[in-house]
Amino acid sequence: MKKIISPKALKKGAKIAVISPAGAVDPSQLEKGIEMIKKRGFEPVLGEHLYTKFSNGYNYAGTEQERLKDINWALNEKEISAIWASRGGYGCQHLVQHLKLKNFAENPKWYIGYSDNTVIQSYLLKKGFASIHGQTIKTSSFGVTDESYDLIFDVLKGKSLKYALKSHQFNKTGTIEGELVGGNLALIYALLGTKYSFDFKDKILFIEDIGENFYALDRMIMSLELAGVFTKIKGLIVGGMTNMGDEKENKQYEESFDEFAYKLISDRISKYNFPIVFGFPNGHIKDNRPLIIGGNVTIKVEDKVKIEF
């Protein structure tokens, strides 16, 4: 088994690249996040095309070539110590075939993001590098808790993550240890069958999503089922399921942990006996606490849940 490399801790004054690999952003949407990096004692370095806009059926942060230029710069620039995505959206799949890691491999750095950034994180893990599945620089309409960012900076400084959660009615008890994979379910689903898909064998899978109709959620879970994912993994963590279902018919859509979405997932995988944690605070939610993709994690699911990296 390939040993996964976690980037080294950042020193005060270290440079953090801020890039937009997917959707377009306005400067006003990043002001607080960029200022936060400065206040924490680090230097934000903005990608050339951070605020570029290119419309092609979707508002991208530049053409594929422009976004690729920024991410490859950030990955390989020796003076950069970490990379923080401005937002998700859509567009990372355009870049994944053309990513370069020559200098990155010599000087691994944390990549921070979630949502569409799951594609980049799957690629990095394939190459043997861990990343942070956590809040982007752009704060969402539902806001972000201070702790969501505090914990990311803790990881950047070399601290470990430990979580204690309340039990959930759909949890399955047990104790497991293993490598964490996953992220946004739609992107895990989109990568299935490609060489960029996660390796699920003996891994612990994390999933979260937003804005999917229940039939679409079921379709994605069924695709994982048909691909044999649930026969390979040894544990599952389910995070935020936000704005799920048909908003006109289902009044639960504003819930961050949609109970019907959870029931649908629970029913689909009821025949499997691995430990399952529902309600982890990560995803398209206000309390978006980081996880380490590629990190070794121990999970104890009993009356309460403990998760430690």
Residues labelled catalytic = 115, 208, 284
Bridge-based pairing state of the strands 304-308 and 296-301:
antiparallel
What does the block give as tokens for 150?
């505090």
Residue position matching structure tokens 């849940």: 305
Please enumerate in sequence order all residues whose Cβ is within 8 A of that of 34, keeping only pairs 6 or more positions apart, or say none.
Answer: 18, 44, 46, 137
